[in-house]
Structure 1
């Protein structure tokens, strides 16, 4: 039997066993080799990693014209320091089903841009990872997005971010995992964090 005639469910079972970091490229390769096969396209979008600014533009253009595909995106890793902030904002505005977001925050992101990213509710978001350039600003996201996050990772080399993330009394009420391993956190500040986020294990 030709691979073209395999049922869609079988392709789903196969792609479901592919590592998340490779499933997008694997799906893309299959669609190119077997253009007429019933390969589920949601695997192209479920776990997205963008490392070049132009990739952000291309994905935004695709999802803007195909909102159904936008609903497939569950994990987004935006690992570009130079992506246009407004394009990133517009892209994230299309993604209502995100459960995990990794965002590299470069110098072209103003504090107002980052605040705009987190203004809209993201009820499904469970894991947020923000990585800042060492000389860049940090402002803690305010509710409503911060009320749903259970896992938070901040990459701010040699910076003490405690005053920022502990200042808002209503932020991160259900946080259970906090990673500040690259920061310069003193013992007294660590105690403050553990008191502030009592659920963290």
Structure 2
């Protein structure tokens, strides 16, 4: 039996973050096995390596690599522009990687999560928050897939209401026509 390959991902790391963690496993025969689990540190992944290794789920947390410099970026135009260029490249690469009808929801959800996490990390730096938001597509309170689902339900409800109204109008017209026919017959038969 192959033991699953696992690792621990540190979104934030520092000098004291270990490269491996030791796990002590107690087997059914009470033997103790020491297992070393490698650690991955988000800050070691560049924008390009995230795309090369198809680790797109790390993109929403990419802003954390700049967390300590966010305030300085808001005051330093060169640093701020470098950050915006990074996010422009992320958006372009994300569009390229996730183009296609079957990947649209994933693209939209990742895009919105990137904005939400950047908004949180940069909560005290309006300029940086706004810049990332504009590049990634603006501030949206709901995920795009949720919005599309909501719009579909609204359209279905509207279509149902229109159908019911048309059905009612047709039914009333048929009823009025039959009533008119019946009244005419009664009048002709002299039973008014």
Band of TM-score, shorter chain = 0.3 to 0.5
Instruction: Compute the TM-score of the two structures, normalised by the length of structure 2.
Output: 0.32
Q: Relative CO higher for 1 or 2, CA cutoff 8 Å, sep ≥ 6?
A: 2
Instruction: Compute the TM-score of the two structures, normalised by the length of structure 1.
Output: 0.31
Bigger CA radius of gyration: 2
